[in-house]
Amino acid sequence: MGDEYAGQQYQQFFSDINTRIRDLEDRQRLLKDRMLLVGQTFVKERESSFGDLQEMKTILIQLQEDQKRIKDMLKRFGEQLDKSARKEELMILQRQFDLFREK
C-alpha cells in the first residue's frame, strides 16, 4: 500500500511538472508571437514614417523654391515700381504741361 501511495505521489508530481512545462511553453510561444507582431508593426511604422519624412522633405524643398521665386518676383516688381512714375507724379506733370500750353 505504501508503494502504491508513493507511486501516485510520483505520478502526481510528474503530472504537475508536465503541466507547468506545457504552461511555460505556451507562454513562451505567446511571447514569441507577440514579439513577432511588435517587430512587424515597428517595421511598418518605420517604413511609413520614412515615407512621410521623404514626402515632407520634397514638399519643403518645393516650398523653398517657391519662396525664392516669389522673393525674386517681388524684388523685380519693386524695382519696376521705383522706375515707373506714380500716378500722383504724372498728375503734377500733366498740370505743369497744361500751364505751359495755356501761356
pLDDT tens per residue across span 44-86: 999 999 999 999 999 999 999 999 999 999 999 888 877 776 7
Element (H, E) at 23: helix 2-83
Please check the confidence at residue 3 and state whether its pLDDT lies above 60: yes
- Look-up: residue for cell 515632407? 56
Residue 35 pLDDT exceeds 80: yes
One-letter amino acid for residue 87 of the chain: K
Is 23's pLDDT higher than 90? yes
Report which DSSP code applies to 93. Answer: H
Predicted confidence at residue 38, as pLDDT, reads 96
Q: Is the pTM of this model over 0.85?
A: no
The burial of 59, by beta-carbon neighbours within 10 Å (0-12 exposed, 13-18 middle, 19 or more buried), is given as exposed
Rounded to whole angstroms, the Cα distance separating 60 from 52 reads 12
For residue 1, is pLDDT > 60? Answer: no
pLDDT: which is higher, 25 or 8 = 25
Name the band, by pLDDT with cuts 50, 70 and 90, for residue 10: confident
More confident residue, 49 or 101: 49
